[in-house]
Amino acid sequence: MPRVALHTLGCKLNYAETSTIGKQFLDQGYEIVPFGTAADVNVINTCSVTAKANQECRQMIRRALRAAPGSYVIVTGCYAQLAPEEVGAIEGVDLVAGTQEKFDLLTLAGDMKKLSCVSTHVSSLNSAKSFTPAWTTEAGCRTRAFLKVQDGCDYTCSFCTIPKARGGSRSESVVHAVERARRLVDEGFKEIVLTGVNVGDYGKKHGSTLAGLLRELILVRGLERIRISSIEPNLVTDEILDLIGDNSPICKHLHIPLQSGSDRILGQMRRRYRSADYAALVDKIASRFPDCGIGADVIVGFPGETDELFEETHRLLADLPLSYLHVFTYSERPGTPAAEMASAVSPPERARRNAFLRSLGERKRNEFLRRQVGKHLDVLLESEVDLGLRFGFTSNYCRVGVPADGMAENTLAAVRLDSIVGGYGIGSLV
């Protein structure tokens, strides 16, 4: 039986798509083996959000070839779409497949025999309209499934390559998305995370909305939780908030990218809101749902971000009732307007600002957890067991461990949060 190893770089959307690629190989009689072990074929699904992601791609290619020097190596995804010649020049690569070609790998590769030249298949995304469904689960987890419902982006943020790498915004139909959700529930999953590039933009081009999709998903019998992976602040509507408030399956957890707390930097980033808009939204959510988990993405070291402008971001984040931060160091991406901007921030200063905000994020996470102590919460238990505790997440995205004895994976347990240790909660059954 031929063996294939798959590796994913980047976001949960990429993981969902890699899972779909893996299913295609299984259907053709392949055995999926761990990446880094001997395999006849290696598939690397890439990201290109940062320069680090490109470097990791090269490292993974070398790793695959160390394990199996004669392996047929396929590189697909965003890096392949944006820089096919660069990817094709990496020693050992046999097939480069773009965004629209990533689900045709078996056809494009043919007999999977290494040749003297690289086969490259990357088409333009200027008029991309097709939507390819995908879904996956976290490794070893049979509780939470990630369901791709949207792809691409129509926004023009000055630092971002995603529109070039994935094309314009497009979505799965409500009917098909709900049907896939039902299948996942039938397989035993109790939580579905809606994923995409710009999930809040769902349905715009076929007359639906994210709120409309949520209204249908809450009717799926056996679906205990629906979680939105990330949503732009200008797309968090009152209708969505009403649905969160009125329907317990929709998680009280919103991940809302900020990127900068400086209006000057937000303007240079071409973001569709300003700091006061973001603050008002977060305050409204926290006022309406005091225990709602609210996360934010932040980019530090954007061109022109002076010490004073960085401090504006720090003050805003410190004052807002956020429960955690994802902090990213700005990385120049070729072909983006930001890469040509003056007043670059030095790499050491970018790293310092990153560490500073990460520390703030840890404090906020712990403060949010402490506010949950003594409360009764539902924890969807997962496979991870450590120090006699089985771990899972609450609706508002707190990681909690409970005594593992007698507690099975995929159980929705009623728990009282008793204490906080090392960034997670410890609870007892009620």
**pLDDT band, very low/low/confident/very high, at 50 (cuts 50, 70, 90):** confident
Q: What is the dihedral of CA 81, 83, 89, 92, to 10 degrees?
A: -40
Supply 98's token pair: 């773009």
Mean pLDDT of 18-28: 94
How far is 4 from 67, CA to CA, in rounded Å? Answer: 12
**Predicted pLDDT of residue 413:** 94
Instruction: Name the β-bridge partners of 259.
Output: 298
pLDDT value of residue 138: 61
Edge-to-edge strand order for the sheet containing 95-97?
Answer: 31-32, 3-8, 41-46, 72-77, 95-97, 119-121
Q: Is the pLDDT of residue 54 over 80?
A: no
For residue 420, the cross-strand partners are: 425
List the one residue out of 16, 81, 6, 95 whose CA is nearest residue 44: 6
142-171: per-residue pLDDT in tens?
789 999 999 999 999 999 999 999 999 999
Please report the pLDDT score of residue 140 as a whole number.
54
Least Cα distance to 19 among 161, 187, 167, 171 occurs for 187
Angle at 200 between CA 400 and CA 265, to 5 degrees: 90
For residue 276, the tally of other CB atoms under 10 A from its CB is 10
| CATH hierarchy code of domain 126-251 | 3.30.750.210
Q: Give the Cα separation of 317 and 366 in Å (integer).
A: 15
Who's near 59: CB < 8 A, 6+ residues apart? none
pLDDT at 312: 98
Burial 399-421 (b: 16+ CB within 10 A, else e): bbbbebeebebbbebebebeebe
Q: Which two tokens stand for residue 73?
A: 């190596």
Four-residue CA torsion sign, 88, 92, 98, 100: positive
- Between CA 85 and CA 62 the distance in angstroms is 18
* 355 and 376 Cβ atoms separated by less than 8 Å: no
pLDDT at residue 142 in the model: 76
Residue 85 has pLDDT above 80, yes or no: yes
pLDDT digits (tens, 9 = 90+) for 264-319: 999 999 999 999 999 999 999 999 999 999 999 999 999 999 999 999 999 999 99
What are the helix and strand counts (H, E) for the chain?
13, 20
Strands (E), 301-398: 324-329, 376-386, 389-394
Q: What is the pTM of this model?
A: 0.92
- pLDDT at residue 204 greater than cutoff 70: yes
Provide the mean pLDDT of the chain.
94
Bridge partners, residue 394, by sequence: 379
* pLDDT over 70 (residue 377): yes
Q: Return the CATH architecture of domain 254-372.
A: 2-Layer Sandwich (3.30)
Residue 367 CB contacts under 8 Å (≥ 6 apart), including other chains: none
CATH architecture of 3-121: 3-Layer(aba) Sandwich (3.40)
Q: Are 247 and 218 in contact (CB under 8 A)?
A: yes
- pLDDT above 90 as % of the chain: 83
Interval 386-426: pLDDT, tens: 889 999 999 999 999 999 988 888 999 999 999 999 889 99
Helix axes 275-288, 307-319, angle to 10 degrees: 10
- The residue-averaged pLDDT of 348-373 equals 97
Residue 11 or 288, more confident: 288
**Closest-CA residue to 237 (of 198, 217, 211):** 211
Q: For residue 169, give both structure tokens.
A: 């915004």
Residue (of 171, 172, 168) closest to 125 by Cα position: 168
Arithmetic mean of pLDDT, 342-348: 96
Model pLDDT, residue 141:
65
Taking only the tens place, the pLDDT of each residue in 243-259 is 999 888 999 999 999 99
- pLDDT of 127: 66
Mean pLDDT in residue range 127-151: 82
DSSP category for residue 250: B
- Minimal CA–CA distance to 293: which of 253, 326, 249, 251? 253
